[in-house]
Chain A
Amino acid sequence: GESVGLHLPTLSVQEGDNSIINCAYSNSASDYFIWYKQESGKGPQFIIDIRSNMDKRQGQRVTVLLNKTVKHLSLQIAATQPGDSAVYFCAENSNTGNQFYFGTGTSLTVIP
């Protein structure tokens, strides 16, 4: 597999501040990426996706940036809320199939 079972890095932010979560992916052939949010004891929940022909995509309060040169993704959450506290994963996919490989993940804690 392409993901590594490392312990999760953590990020703490004040409520109302913006959050930036980073992810490095490993396969240069990957051309589709999804950010997922996972709350404790639950399955991953889709947040936003981006294809490799784009550098940036915006959703509601979230923006994903893709830098293919250095194989890096970031997720920006505007005006972070307590409900945003969760673990965030980036997942990569190449057009050889629908399987996704997950990054290490980041645990986000929002301080009220």
Chain B
Amino acid sequence: GAVVSQHPSRVICKSGTSVKIECRSLDFQATTMFWYRQFPKQSLMLMATSNEGSKATYEQGVEKDKFLINHASLTLSTLTVTSAHPEDSSFYICSAGPPGQGREQYFGPGTRLTVT
């Protein structure tokens, strides 16, 4: 099956700093990837759609200047949390789907961000 990886799996950063999270499709190319955020004991909330070669599309209420998304290649999307604050601490998960295989999405293992 299709494999999506994320790096790092865990990161701790100080308040006010920025942190970058990578999402890679390992065995397929993805023109579109999706970023989700999940707080403890809650559901996954779609943040944005990452589009290769063009700007990301953000869901309502998500600050695009705070959560910078770059889809640099067909196998890599990055999410940068800028000027992080403790309330940004969360589990960030990406997904992607192989082209030509319907709409099924494969999820990465997630990145646990803790802002101190």
Q: Which residues on A are within 8 Å of B, measured CB to CB?
A: 1, 3-8, 32, 34, 36, 41-46, 49, 89, 91, 93, 95, 97-105, 107
Contacts and interface: CB of A to CB of B under 8 A. Distances in A.
B41 A7 contact: yes
Interface of B: 4, 6, 32, 34, 36, 39, 41-46, 49, 59-61, 91, 93, 95, 97, 103-110, 112
Given A8-B43, A44-B44, A98-B32, 19 more contacts: A1-B61, A3-B46, A5-B39, A6-B42, A6-B43, A34-B105, A36-B107, A41-B112, A43-B6, A43-B107, A43-B108, A91-B44, A93-B103, A97-B32, A100-B34, A100-B95, A102-B43, A104-B43, A107-B41
5 contacts: A7-B41, A44-B107, A89-B43, A93-B103, A102-B44
Contacts, number: 74
B60 A1 contact: yes
Contacts of B45: 1, 3, 5, 102
A100 B42 CA distance: 16
